[in-house]
A and B are shown apart, each in its own frame.
Chain A
Amino acid sequence: MDFLSQYHGFPFLSVIIFLPLIGALVQMFIREDNLARIWALLVTVVVAALSIPMYLGFDLNSSKYQFGEHHAWIPALNINYTVGIDGISLLLILMTTLIMPLCVLGSWRYIKKRVTAFMVCLLIMETSMIGVFCALDFVLFYILWEAMLIPMYLLIAIWGGPRRNYASIKFFLYTLAGSVLLLVAIIALYFKTGSFSIPAMMGRDYSPVFQMWVFLAFFLAFAIKVPMFPFHTWLPAAHVEAPTAGSVILASILLKMGTYGFLRFCLPITPLATVHFMPYILWLSVAGILYGGFTALAQHDMKKLIAYSSVGHMGFVTLGIFVLNPRGIEGALLQMVNHGVTTGALFFCVGMIYERTHSREIRDATGIGKLMPWYVTFLAFSPCHRWPSPAPIPLSASF
């Protein structure tokens, strides 16, 4: 366990992973709508509050995974409950925990039917999202990665717009179809290394052919999640039909899981294949940037516009990752966080307009600045931040 610095104090990671889940279980027994809202807000705020001391206690000079916890889970197959975070995970977890209370607040009034169930879905989402970002065991990772599809599916399918059936099934099928081969790749890696520990899989000299197959399986799963250019069609549908909080989670956090996957798995586990496939992925990223940008120009529906622009922005992220130098990766990471915050903000803004005017057409929103001046300031402010900047930010040395 030399990669993991075990943390013997307060088990921050386990608590912030499982607190929302326990909150969701309690939530199921709450029948009253307002109480359900307050309870969900309370849970998410506590989780956010807990994540801040974790951020402050993070040691920037260590190359190990910090706040590590390690427990045997399924010894028969050498599967463990291992969690730990490095700089990449830290930022993404912090973003998740801070956005979730906003999602609860953002759906305070807009969700009127089946409030309890909605909040249960949000809380289960939070558990699985945080878990994905700190799992250091591949089976744990995969379970959380897949389990998140269920609440997200329900969020779109129950509280979504008119074409929610189509959008939710497309979302579920696309992402699941992408990740079944990920499972095969995980088992193949286990076959080679005898362990499901993610750090133990890194930096081994697998044969180039093996690396290529594993890389392709990884790539399919993560590229669909990002989504990269030819696999992006589920995103506009899901974004448009999802309720506001669903869109925010989808854009801010779920999409980051794809790029997180590239960073955490593709680069360290299959480096040869990454170099081999780099040019193609760069081309796909550029295609995504151009395609997303141009398609966004032609949209009347604001949510669709943001969805396509997300395709473009995530193209920048993959571009940054696959130029394969530290500066590019730092830029990509910064862009991930930027995109998470700003797109989330934009979706909240669109949600507000939609709740008030029941239209997401840009034309119908003409002159809204006169009615809601403060709001428009925020709306204008959000996209300004959406440019990739290559500024170096403090990261762990594991990078």
Chain B
Amino acid sequence: MLIVPELILLGAALVLFFVSLADNNHRIAQGVAVITVLALMVASVAALGRSGEIFAASYRVDLFSQVFKVLISFGLMIVVLFGLRLKGIAVDIRAEYYIFLFLASLGLMMVVSSVELLTLFVALELSSFALYLLVPMRTDSGGLRGQMEAAAKYLLFGVMVTGIMLYGMSYVFGLAGSTYLADIVPRLHGIGADPAVIVAIAMILCAFCFKLGMFPFHFWLPDVYQGAANETTAFIATVPKLAAVALLLRGVVMFSPDAENIGYVLGILAVCSMFYGNLLALVQKDIKRMLGFSGIAHAGYVMLGILIMKESGYAASMFYITGYLVMNLAAFMVICAVSKEGENPEITDFIGLHQRAPVLAITLSCSMFALAGVPPFVGFMGKFFLLADTLTSGYLVLVILAAINTAISLYYYLSVVRVAYTADPEGRAGVSVGLVPQIIGIGLVLVIIAMGVMPQRVLDIAAQVVSRVV
């Protein structure tokens, strides 16, 4: 009974497979999807306290994995519920769409539980290939086949990075003589400064950074955000990032504390990510593309907590990525609702949103202010914890550069709030929003504020969680 959430996802994917054989199946598929995500949420919360090891100790269920599974289920549930209309996906492939969405989530859940390199690799590939397939499922609008281009880029970069990671894993196996993380950690201990170890670790980290969208592994990210359907982007922008952070935590723990060089490299990459993401986001007109670049910048922030290789830093990163999940879900909920036919909204499409859909306008502005890191929202608290931990570890320059980036990023987030709140609609039609998205929106806003004002509880949980991985 350790893996009920995973079994639910697998079962749902199988059921949907049979549903997809029938004609005119999209209503049934939708029903199955809704029941699945609700059941999944319940199951993963119920499974919080479980712990144990299965499959020859390669798959570990502990607090670390279970909390990440709850977050993954939460993200998946919100994405499915606010994207019920699936405007960008053709009616006849919706059952298939849900199959791959669930398989991707299943893969991500397996990633956070894997403690053996080959299991990890299989789980990672399961999630990646499902994601590669989700991207081109978008209805072709305008005949430009942008979704195909995005999928091709995603796939090519993805498999290349996976190859590099496998190569790195083979080095680790050669050095440590085992593929179990529990064996690798003590055996690599003490030889962390060995060039072979550094090369191996760097190659493995490539894949993790790719998942997170760190510079210089970010090239796929803006194109995929732009090319994929809005609902797909909402998923890709949030849930896989969680698993990426879990991976990075496991990865960094493998060779800390005697890998200072890696810390420096990650620091440089983090700064590059922030500047690159924020500066390029300044000039974007397509809001999804803008959020793509902002995601690169946020990957840089998250990395701050990881690279200091301290438990408090890991907890701060975990807090930040949880906050990032909520903020981004709120932003994408509004994007999905504002887009009429499933097209990409431009920033100008949000003009006068405060009159056309007040709840959406509030949700959007709160998420933008939160992403910009303005108090009292969760984005500020997350950044504050990250900066505090990074500075107390002695990385003053990194902290100053990160702080400067907060000021840069404010401009583009603010420009979205500005059009939503200060301009009149000028004849733009109202946005019809169902009750469910409105409730989700208000709920997400409340979470964003609550985590910003009373972060202690979440931070405690994060600290407990990361203490298990160390």
Q: Can you list, as one digit per residue, whether each of B156-172 has a CB less than 8 Å from chain A (1) or not (0)?
A: 00000000000000000
In the bound complex, CA of A169 to CA of B400 (Å) = 23
By the criterion CB–CB under 8 Å, are B407 and A180 in contact? yes
Asked whether any CB of chain A lies closer than 8 Å to the CB of B199, the reply is no
B400 CB contacts on chain A under 8 angstroms: 181, 184
Asked whether B432 is an interface residue with its Cβ less than 8 Å from the other chain, the reply is: no
Residues of B within 8 A of A1 (CB): none
* Residues of chain A with a CB closer than 8 A to B404's CB: 180
Contact with B along A154-185 (1 / 0, CB 8 A): 10011000001100110011001100110110
* Alpha-carbon distance A68/B32, docked complex (angstroms): 57
Contact of A77 among B369, B385, B396, B411 (CB under 8 A): B385
A149 at the interface (CB under 8 A from B): yes
B98 near A: Cβ within 8 Å?
no
A74 within 8 A of B: yes
B375 within 8 A of A: yes
Residues in B whose Cβ lies below 8 Å from that of A164: 422
The residue on B at minimum CB distance from A114 is B354
In the complex, chain B residues 435-459 whose Cβ is within 8 Å of any chain A Cβ = 455-456, 459
Q: Chain A's nearest CB lies how many Å from the CB of B415? A: 8
A371 to B250, CA, bound (A): 77
- When C-beta atoms are compared, the residue in chain A nearest to B392 turns out to be A191
Instruction: Judge if B388 is at the interface, Cβ distance under 8 Å.
Output: yes
- Interface-central residue, B391, B421, B422, by most chain A CB under 10 Å: B422
Do B387 and A74 touch (CB < 8 A)? no
Please, how many angstroms separate the alpha-carbon atoms of A329 and B93 in the complex? 74
Q: Does B403 contact A (CB under 8 A)?
A: yes
A187 & B410 in contact (Cβ 8 Å cutoff): no
CA distance A150 to B399 in the complex (A): 24
Q: Is the CB of A74 within 8 A of B407?
A: no
Q: Restricting to A71-91, which residues have a CB under 8 Å from any CB of B?
A: 73-77
Q: Are B411 and A150 in contact (CB under 8 A)?
A: no
B374 in contact (CB, < 8 A): yes
Contact with A along B105-130 (1 / 0, CB 8 A): 00000000000000000000000000
Task: Flag whether A190 is at the interface (Cβ < 8 A).
Answer: yes
B376 within 8 A of A: yes
State which of A74, A180, A188 has its C-beta within 8 Å of the C-beta of B459: A74
Chain A contact surface mostly: helix
Contacting residue for B403 out of A77, A146, A183, CB 8 A? A183
Q: Does the CB pair B411–A173 fall under 8 Å?
A: yes
Residues of chain B from 208 to 254 with CB closer than 8 A to chain A in the complex: none
Cα distance A333–B217 when bound, in Å? 55
Residues in B whose Cβ lies below 8 Å from that of A77: 385, 388
Q: Nearest chain B CB to A230's CB is how many angstroms away? A: 18
The CA-CA distance from A177 to B400 in the complex, in Å, is 12
- CA A256 to CA B385, docked complex, whole Å: 29
Give A321 to B42 CA distance when docked, in angstroms.
60
CB within 8 Å for A149 and B374 given contacts A184-B391, A184-B399, A187-B399: yes
Contacts of B410 in A (CB 8 A): 172-173, 176
Q: Taking the complex as formed, is B460 at the interface, i.e. its CB lies under 8 A from any CB of chain A?
A: yes
Question: Which residues in A have their C-beta under 8 angstroms from that of B460?
Answer: 76
B407 / chain A contacts, CB cutoff of 8 Å: 173, 176-177, 180
Whether B374 pairs with A147 at a CB distance below 8 angstroms is yes
| Residues in A neighbouring B418, C-beta threshold 8 A | 157, 165, 168-169
* CB proximity of B384 to chain A, nearest CB, Å: 7
Is there a chain A Cβ closer than 8 Å to B463's Cβ?
A: yes
Provide the bound-state CA to CA distance between A73 and B453, in Å.
Answer: 9
Complex-state Cα separation, A73 to B376, whole angstroms: 14
Known: A74-B459, A173-B411. A190 touches B388 (CB 8 A): yes
Contact A172 B414 (CB under 8 A): yes
Chain B residues near A153 (CB-CB < 8 A): 414
CB < 8 Å: which of A74, A146, A168, A191 contacts B380? Answer: A146
Is the CB of B406 closer than 8 A to any CB of chain A? yes
Closest partner residue, chain A, to B460 (CB atom): A76
Contact between B463 and A147, CB atoms less than 8 A apart: no
Is A365 on the interface with B (CB-CB < 8 A)?
no
The answer for the CA separation of A147 and B380 in the assembled complex, in Å, is 10
Q: State whether B411 touches A169 (Cβ < 8 A).
A: yes
0/1 interface trace, chain B 367-402, chain A, CB 8 Å (1 if under): 001000011100010001101100110001001100
- Closest Cβ of chain B: how far from A132's Cβ, in Å? 12
Query: Does B456 contact A157, Cβ atoms closer than 8 Å?
Result: no
- Chain A residues with CB under 8 Å of B415's CB are 169
Q: Are B421 and A147 in contact (CB under 8 A)?
A: no
Chain B residue numbers with a CB within 8 Å of A181 are: 400, 403
- Contact assessment for B387 and A184 in the assembled complex, using a CB-CB cutoff below 8 Å: yes
Q: State the CA gap A147–B388 with chains docked (Å).
A: 19
> In the complex the two chains form, what is the Cα distance from A121 to B167 in whole Å?
57
A187 touching B387 by the CB < 8 A rule? yes
Taking a contact as CB atoms under 8 Å apart, the answer to whether A187 and B411 are in contact is no
A-B contact pairs, 10 of them (CB 8 A): A73-B456, A75-B456, A77-B388, A139-B384, A142-B375, A146-B375, A154-B421, A183-B387, A184-B391, A188-B391
A-B interface, 3 closest residue pairs, ranked by CB to CB distance from nearest: A143-B375, A180-B403, A177-B407
Additional 18 contacts, C-beta under 8 A, given A150-B374, A173-B414, A176-B407? A73-B456, A75-B456, A77-B385, A77-B388, A146-B374, A147-B376, A158-B421, A165-B422, A169-B414, A173-B407, A173-B411, A181-B403, A183-B403, A184-B387, A184-B391, A184-B400, A187-B384, A187-B392
Chain B residues proximal to chain A, CB less than 8 Å: 369, 374-376, 380, 384-385, 387-388, 391-392, 396, 399-400, 403-404, 406-407, 410-411, 414-415, 418, 421-422, 455-456, 459-460, 463
